[in-house]
Amino acid sequence: MADLSALARRAASQGIDILLLPEAYIGGYPRGTHFGCVIGDRTEQGREEFARYFDAAVDFGDTVGEGGAGAGARWVKKELSSTAEGVQRGDGTRERLEDIARETGVFVVTGAIEKAGGSMYCAVVYVCPTEGIIGKRRKVMPTGTERLVWAQGSPATLAAVSTTIRGVRVNMAAAICWENYMPLLRQSLYAQNVNLYLAPTADGRDSWLSLMRTVGIEGRCFVVSSNMCVRKPSAASGAVPSQRQRRSSVVEEENGIEIALPCSETLDKRPRCVRDNGFEIALPSHSQEQQKEQQAEGQRGHKLQHRKSVFDEDGNEIVLCCNEDDGESQANGQKTTAAADAKTQANRRKSVFDEDGNEIVLCCKHVDGTAQAANGEAKNRSARSRHGTGRDPSSFVCRGGSSIVSPFGDVLAGPQWDDDDGIIHADVDMRDCVRGRLDLDNAGSYSRNDSFRLTVQGLDLDPLPY
């Protein structure tokens, strides 16, 4: 809560009106754990871990409700028994969130792990600076093994909420993480005439942005997606690495080969060879018979067997696909060199084959200067997109990727990679949502609702006014 308060104050200092925080921002996303569960068995350690996670969840003072719907409007309006009698329901998280929004003047939307009864829900709350919490929803379909610890919320909680910011009416609703891959759920939000579509998530893959752009175009609405950016825990955190993780290693940038550094303790039993610089290279695992043959070969004083190779005119080594005798190697070498020359003339990049038969494309100059410049710019764009702040992506458990997208699919801010401190933002004209309806309104003129109809149990799909 202290971090949330600090973020809200930073947002206010930058003139930001609405702050969206990731899925499970309060309570935490249990990435990587399985709570000691396998089919047919649960461990005592896993049960204790679940109990600690339950303790970390927040209590908003809501009920379980039918199908996980909670008390709905009665909870929002503080009409439940204890609240109506002047006694605080829950653990005070609701009141603290309302204080933060009121003190900063920022409309806060945050993910939270909510406990009600003996179950937990992945929730999102909408906190208005003037009215307090005006809505809360629970994730209707936890993804994969999230269902071990999160109960299903009711689709009735998908109701959009409205507020007025700088004299402009904003209709907003949130789809949590992989709920965004549910077309009918997205349509239920479009049907309510949202112009601000919120997507708190834990998905840090590159493909997520393409989905957000699709939502922007499909719903003719602004889309804000907020994802957590999480660094890997240090060795001091007590995590037990696997055998391979225990070995110190580096990766050669040019060829991507993982090189295990010399160490006194042999933890990896795979065959290996030692390079001239003293680095030990772990080789792919082979059968016991192959390993015995390799050991016998080494005892005879021979080097580890390598496949034959030739060099092209640019000095790139091309590994041949099989072990030939010398005469056949020369013949194949001539053929390979001729093929490489043909590729060069055709303005194609050079490549070699590794020991598993995989083709590796080399980084080399193009004959055509224009093509070279274009490729360089493409690589620069890729580097900017994937590496963000320039920090090492491998040091993050989740790299983030927060973004803001227009109703026409344009990326207005982000994706924000490898940045666990910054806030991305964009100034928007909400009338772009109306302008976009000229040619596409998936809940109205483009819906053919005389033939295709969507109903959601417990949810009013009548559109909100602008």
> Which sequence positions are flagged as catalytic?
23, 139, 177
First CA to last CA across the chain, in angstroms? 33
Write down the number of H helices and E strands in the chain: 12, 21
DSSP per-residue string spanning 63-127: ---GGG-TTTHHHHTT-SHHHHTTPPPTTSHHHHHHHHHHHHT-EEEEEEEEEETTEEEEEEEEE
Taking the CA atoms of residue 19, residue 24, residue 27 and residue 28 in that order, the dihedral angle to the nearest 10 degrees is -110
Cβ-count burial of 301 within 10 angstroms (0-12 exposed, 13-18 middle, 19+ buried)? exposed
Rounded Cα gap, residues 310 and 316, in angstroms:
8
Note whether 132 and 98 are within 8 A (CB). yes
Residue 36 backbone phi and psi in degrees, to 5:
65, 25
CA proximity to 107, closest of 185, 189, 169: 169
3-state secondary structure of 138: strand
Q: CA angle, 199 as apex, 172 and 21 as ends, to 5°? A: 90
Q: Is 238 left (phi over 0), alpha (psi -120 to 50) or beta?
A: left
Strand residues in 148-274 grouped as ranges (E): 161-165, 168-174, 196-201, 222-227, 229-231, 249-251, 258-260, 272-274
Neighbours of 436 (CB within 10 A): 20
Distance (Å, whole) CA 384 – CA 392:
13
The 10 Å CB-count burial string (b at 16+, else e) for 37-76 is beeeeeeeebeebbeebeeebbebbbebbebbbbbbebbb
Please state, in angstroms and as integers, the Cα–Cα distance from residue 315 to each residue in 160, 309, 319, 337, 340, following that order. 63, 12, 13, 11, 11
